[in-house]
Chain A
Amino acid sequence: MKLVTAIVKPFVLDDVKSALEQLGVLGMTVSEVQGYGRQKGHTEVYRGAEYAVDFVPKLRVEVVTDDLNADKVVDAVVGAARTGKIGDGKVWVTPVDTVVRVRTGERGADAL
């Protein structure tokens, strides 16, 4: 199994979610995160004092999937999150040893 982690712009969440739903992905975890890549931050001004705000708000979308579908999930997220402008984010895939469904105790692919 694979964990697909995507850092995306907050406003693309609905598009990412519906793209994953069309693929048949049944669940995901979304969290609000902050960080920067090549986009860097922005500047705010309070009473003439400039503050460089380095960290930009982003969303982290996490999906656990079986090995066969990992590439499709990645392609769906990338397709839905791309605007072509700097700051669109990153997607990466990591291996997952095991998954357990808490309610039933099912393990592995059955728990997905």
Chain B
Amino acid sequence: MNAGDTAWVLASAALVMLMTPGLAFFYGGMVRSKSVLNMLMLNFIALAVVSVLWALYGYSLSFSNDAFSGLVGNLDFATLKNTMGHLVGAASPDGKTPWPGPDAIPALSFVMFQLMFAVITPALISGAIADRAKFWSWTLFMALWVTIVYFPVAHWVFNFNGYTGADNKGGWIANTLGAEDFAGGTAVHINAGAAGLALAIVLGRRVGWRKDPMRPHNVPFVLLGASLLWFGWYGFNAGSALSAGDLAATAFTNTTVATAAAVLGWLIIEQIRDGKPTTVGAASGAVAGLVAITPACGFVNPLGALAIGVLAGALCALAVGLKYKLGFDDSLDVVGVHLVGGLVGTLLIGFFGTSSANPGIAKDGFFFGGGFSLLTKQAIAAFAVMGYSFIGALVIGFLIKVTIGFRAARDVEVAGIDEAEHAESAYEFGGFSGGSVRGTGGKAVDGAGSAAVLEGSKA
């Protein structure tokens, strides 16, 4: 077992965990004040639900030995059996060190690291249905979607032959097709983006969309959330090296350069188009850059990362306006940022991928003399995940809609979903709402208390 690698993977798991609350604030700031709690809860509940499912069977479906044609794992690791006290790792490429190889880490550190990916992916989808989703319907959707879509897709993309066991077979994209996805451009971002589009269609547009102003209620939250995402993303990307070495440092550097370039790309488009660089734009540009560099961060050099970042920032800034033309209310631009950004990063590996950054890359990209063969593989992987996730989310969402209902009633949505779904309101500014406390079992107490008599009060 490699103690340094273990420490890095455990620390990275904790970093990625922070991304989900970070995302909650990024999204929460963008909705109206009457539905911010619902938005936070749609995200936070992912930590609860997916963690339980992951321990029961999710990790097994994703990472145990292949059950069927590289599509899904079997139940060898269900309830996390065969993981405690076991290692994961890869035999050294030269064959001198057999599995689990020199970078072996405890299986459970890998279980926890990968869990955090499974948590944030469905949370990303929630931005498409802000302000109008019933909480328990969403929770059920999430449980079904991770089971039917995410766990298999993680198997396709992240389960490499001979990693969780010497003879274990993994998924088809990673092993048979040989497309490259370092940290989840397909499995996380294209996956979530396509599902977001499906749900935006299933739930329909918000009341007053394109007519009423739906201004972000707390722009500082948006920037704070994006900053937490950026911070956590170092675990996501550099942690995906699963080893504390060169490759992790490369991924860390590329993540930084691409994100910085994407902020500039987005702001330049805004300055030209709208005449002002906005705070929401800077936050969105950072997230777009992080999304795009996710699949590529372990396969490109810093100059490639810069190009991917600036392109992702600019393209996503243009893409977020498309929903108004196409007529679907993807409220917080899950499609414009995650689907578009994920596609940009996944496909651009086909151009910028280089064995100088990672000798393990399947093939050099177009700009490094490898022709279009890597790009073809990347496109197949991207569109396979996009199609599967879109159809899966559309069917699950539609079934929930016609059975228990997915969308809050119109009057609830107009009044604010927080009160109807959660019996809370986000902000209390010391105003007077009247009323009294019920259900605490106590008698009414004089506001001034029995001992102290305040100056000026009627003693």
- Give min CB distance, B338 to chain A, whole Å: 14
Known A-B contacts A51-B215, A53-B213; A46 and B280 likewise in contact (beta carbons under 8 Å): yes
**In the complex, which of the residues A47, A50, A53 contacts B281, with contact meaning CB atoms closer than 8 Å?**
A47
Which residues of chain A from 36 to 58 have a CB within 8 Å of any chain B CB?
44-53
The complex places the Cα of A53 from the Cα of B212 at a distance, in Å, of: 11
Do A49 and B280 have beta carbons less than 8 Å apart? no
Which residues of chain B from 354 to 400 have a CB within 8 Å of any chain A CB?
none
Which residues of chain B from 278 to 333 have a CB within 8 Å of any chain A CB?
278, 280-281, 284, 317, 320-321, 324, 333
Residue B76 lies at the interface, judged by CB distance under 8 Å to chain A: no
Instruction: Report which residue of A47, A48, A53 has the largest number of chain B beta carbons within 10 angstroms of its beta carbon.
Output: A47
Residue B419 lies at the interface, judged by CB distance under 8 Å to chain A: no
The complex places the Cα of A50 from the Cα of B276 at a distance, in Å, of: 12
Do A46 and B333 have beta carbons less than 8 Å apart? no
Residue of A nearest to B336 (CB): A47
**In the complex, which of the residues A44, A49, A51 contacts B324, with contact meaning CB atoms closer than 8 Å?**
A49
Residue of A nearest to B316 (CB): A47
- Give min CB distance, A42 to chain B, whole Å: 12
Do A51 and B213 have beta carbons less than 8 Å apart? yes
Q: Mark A11-31, 1 if CB is under 8 A from B, else 0.
A: 000000000000000000000
Which residues of chain B from 252 to 286 have a CB within 8 Å of any chain A CB?
270, 273-274, 276, 278, 280-281, 284
- Give min CB distance, A81 to chain B, whole Å: 27
The complex places the Cα of A1 from the Cα of B378 at a distance, in Å, of: 81
With a CB–CB cut-off of 8 A, which chain B residues contact A49? 321, 324
The complex places the Cα of A47 from the Cα of B322 at a distance, in Å, of: 11
Do A48 and B321 have beta carbons less than 8 Å apart? yes
Residue B204 lies at the interface, judged by CB distance under 8 Å to chain A: no
The complex places the Cα of A36 from the Cα of B280 at a distance, in Å, of: 27
The complex places the Cα of A46 from the Cα of B30 at a distance, in Å, of: 9
Residue B216 lies at the interface, judged by CB distance under 8 Å to chain A: yes
> How many chain-B residues does the 8 Å CB contact rule pick out?
18
Do A47 and B213 have beta carbons less than 8 Å apart? no
With a CB–CB cut-off of 8 A, which chain A residues contact B270? 45, 48
Indicate the size class of the contact surface on chain A: 10 to 19
The complex places the Cα of A26 from the Cα of B155 at a distance, in Å, of: 76
With a CB–CB cut-off of 8 A, which chain A residues contact B278? 45-47
Interface majority SS (helix, strand, loop, mixed), chain B? helix
With a CB–CB cut-off of 8 A, which chain B residues contact A47? 278, 280-281, 284, 317, 320-321, 333, 336
Do A44 and B215 have beta carbons less than 8 Å apart? yes
The complex places the Cα of A47 from the Cα of B283 at a distance, in Å, of: 10
Do A46 and B216 have beta carbons less than 8 Å apart? yes
With a CB–CB cut-off of 8 A, which chain A residues contact B274? 45, 48, 50
- Give min CB distance, A16 to chain B, whole Å: 25
- Give min CB distance, A52 to chain B, whole Å: 8
The complex places the Cα of A16 from the Cα of B451 at a distance, in Å, of: 43
With a CB–CB cut-off of 8 A, which chain A residues contact B333? 47
The complex places the Cα of A91 from the Cα of B333 at a distance, in Å, of: 45
Q: Mark A41-80, 1 if CB is under 8 A from B, else 0.
A: 0001111111111000000000000000000000000000
Residue of A nearest to B337 (CB): A47
The complex places the Cα of A87 from the Cα of B65 at a distance, in Å, of: 71
With a CB–CB cut-off of 8 A, which chain A residues contact B336? 47
Residue of B nearest to A53 (CB): B213
**In the complex, which of the residues A45, A51, A52, A53 contacts B276, with contact meaning CB atoms closer than 8 Å?**
A45
With a CB–CB cut-off of 8 A, which chain B residues contact A48? 270, 273-274, 317, 320-321
- Give min CB distance, B317 to chain A, whole Å: 7
With a CB–CB cut-off of 8 A, which chain A residues contact B215? 44, 46, 51, 53
- Give min CB distance, B151 to chain A, whole Å: 32
- Give min CB distance, A48 to chain B, whole Å: 5
The complex places the Cα of A47 from the Cα of B320 at a distance, in Å, of: 7
Residue of B nearest to A54 (CB): B213
- Give min CB distance, B336 to chain A, whole Å: 8
Residue of B nearest to A47 (CB): B320
Residue of A nearest to B278 (CB): A45
Which residues of chain B from 194 to 253 have a CB within 8 Å of any chain A CB?
213, 215-216
Residue of A nearest to B275 (CB): A45
Nearest first, the 4 A-B pairs at minimum CB distance are A51-B213, A45-B274, A48-B321, A47-B320
Give 8 pairs: A residue, B residue, CB < 8 Å, sorted on A. Answer: A45-B276, A46-B278, A46-B280, A47-B317, A48-B317, A49-B324, A52-B213, A53-B213
Given A46-B280, A47-B281; 20 other pairs, CB 8 A cutoff: A45-B270, A45-B274, A45-B276, A45-B278, A46-B30, A46-B278, A47-B280, A47-B284, A47-B317, A47-B320, A47-B321, A47-B336, A48-B273, A48-B274, A48-B317, A48-B321, A50-B274, A51-B215, A52-B213, A53-B213
